[in-house]
Amino acid sequence: MPRGFTLCVLSALVLWMGGPSTLVSAAGTEKPSKPLEKAFPHSQKCKRCHIRVFEEWEASAQSRSIVSSAFRVTLDRFLASGPEKEPSMCLRCHAPHILEYKHQSKMFVDEVQSKDPQIDGVGCAQCHLIKDINSETHPPLPSYQLEKTVFGGYKNPVENLAHQSETSELYKSSAFCVTCHDSLPKGAQMGPLPDWMGNWKESKAEKDGKTCQSCHMPGAFGESANGERNRKIANHSFPGRFGKVRAKAVELDFTTKVQGETSTVDVTIQSLVPHNLPMPHPGWYRVVVDLTILGKNLRKVHGDQRYYERVYGDKNGKKTVLDFEAVKVLSDTLLKPEEKRVESFTFPTPPNAPSMDVIVTLTYAPIHGPEEFVQAVEAESSLGTKDRAFQTVEVVKKKVNVPLGK
């Protein structure tokens, strides 16, 4: 074993030493015997031996699960919406270890509101200590084993002094991911809201053995721990809205028909993903199909858009981007799993132009909603409108020049 790797392992002993082995019910009916910081050590400690994985995770949305301004604003409004609101409704996905430490709920909230939390939301321990998942409940509930064992999908884990390693097929299945990613909170008046991911279990991808990890933890070749031999490993940046995987989310094509003073563009969009698109939070996330027509001298002469989104209504029938206020779905134009859809745009043919440029773009839209909500998110972010939440993210773009015969 390389000297550097040995020193790394020895320095990491503080992670898992001490404390009895404990299998804790996710229902939180028993208080764990370990302090939270011992049971769920910060990912910074894992970095000592897993630099590559840590750096990938640090760039991911998961690492910002309790520091994003949008989440902070939403949590504050949820807690202010009525007496005795239970923060674990929100934090069960943004900081899932609260399920085992509900008696410390105030501490979790204080950490989020501090804007500089000293605990992880979704980090190494929050995922790699899951031993089992109860799929009979909604949302599915994980069971954590709070001991020196770390679970994962790699076969033949390397023995080390920092922790025990155990291979689990659970980490290669979509069932592992849907504990959070198919788990919208319950609306106060309507019970469980409509599914977040769509009918992913019946998708072609899932039936062909392509799990969530196939796209969102793409395989590579490298070292899992510092100094370890290279082997097939999983990417931990979890590409999705951000990352190259979005370019493989859809196939887009279009045809143009010019009929005198009127023209029509038919856009065909084939979703290639086994879940709804968009998925992260249909309350305020949307995908936009944008049509732009450039006429003479490349001047824009026409523009039109279609939105793919789910719009919720509150008890008064007013639109809301806060899922805890939702009592019904006002409209749902989400792209369903692997759905093909055709959008037809009709517009005046550009006058006095020898040709026109037809540009079709599919993008993830910036965060949207009531102006005061968007302003609150901006005010909470240290980056203001430069925050990722306010950035348009291009998925695919196509451009064709169409002769007009003039």
- Is residue 4 scored above 60 in pLDDT? no
Closest CA to 174 of 145, 140, 150, 149: 140
Assess whether pLDDT exceeds 80 at residue 383.
yes
Q: Give the model confidence (pLDDT) of 296-308 as tens digits.
A: 999 999 999 999 9
**Does residue 151 register a pLDDT over 70?**
yes
Domain 244-403 class in CATH? mainly beta
Q: What is the pLDDT of residue 21?
A: 43
Neighbours of 239 (CB within 10 A): 20
Q: Is the pLDDT of residue 243 over 90?
A: no
Name the band, by pLDDT with cuts 50, 70 and 90, for residue 280. Answer: low
Confidence at residue 11, expressed as pLDDT on a 0 to 100 scale = 41
Before 278, cis peptide (omega within 30)?
yes
What is the mean predicted confidence (pLDDT) over 115-121? 94
* pLDDT of 142 above 80: yes
The answer to whether the CB of 298 falls within 8 A of the CB of 274 is no
Lowest mean pLDDT among 22-26, 123-127, 151-155, 384-388: 22-26
Report pLDDT for 2: 42
Percent of the chain with pLDDT over 90: 61
Q: Which two tokens stand for residue 106?
A: 């105030």
In the predicted structure, residue 1 carries a pLDDT above the cut 70: no
pLDDT at 32: 73
CA dihedral 205, 167, 244, 274 (to 10 degrees): 20
Choice among 14-18, 72-76, 202-206 with the minimum mean pLDDT: 14-18
Residue 254: pLDDT above 90?
A: yes
- Looking at every residue in the chain, the average pLDDT score rounds to 86
pLDDT for 281: 74
The CA distances from residue 283 to 136, 182, 184, 310, 393, in Å, are 26, 14, 10, 6, 18
Classify burial at 218, counting beta carbons within 10 Å of its beta carbon; exposed 0-12, middle 13-18, buried 19 or more: middle
Give the per-residue pLDDT at 326. Answer: 84
> Over pLDDT 70: what percentage of the chain?
89
Q: What is the pTM of this model?
A: 0.86
| pLDDT recorded at residue 30 | 65
- What's the count of helices (H) and strands (E) in the chain, helices before strands? 12, 19
Q: What is the pLDDT of residue 185?
A: 55
Specify the 3-state DSSP secondary structure of 237. coil
Give me the residue spans of the domains in the chain.
Answer: 3-173+211-234, 244-403
Q: Are 213 and 358 in contact (CB under 8 A)?
A: no
Q: How far apart are CA 294 and CA 300, in angstroms?
A: 4
How many other C-beta atoms can be found within 10 angstroms of the C-beta atom of residue 223?
A: 16
Which pairing describes strands 130-134 and 141-145: parallel, antiparallel, or unpaired?
antiparallel
Those residues with Cβ within 8 angstroms of residue 102's Cβ, 6 or more apart along the chain or in another chain: 28, 88
Q: Is 208 helix (H, G, I), strand (E, B) or coil?
A: coil
Q: Are 340 and 270 in contact (CB under 8 A)?
A: yes
Distance CA 79, CA 370 (A): 19
> What pLDDT shows up at residue 109?
95
User: Which has the minimum average pLDDT: 45-49, 223-227, 274-278, 302-306?
Assistant: 223-227
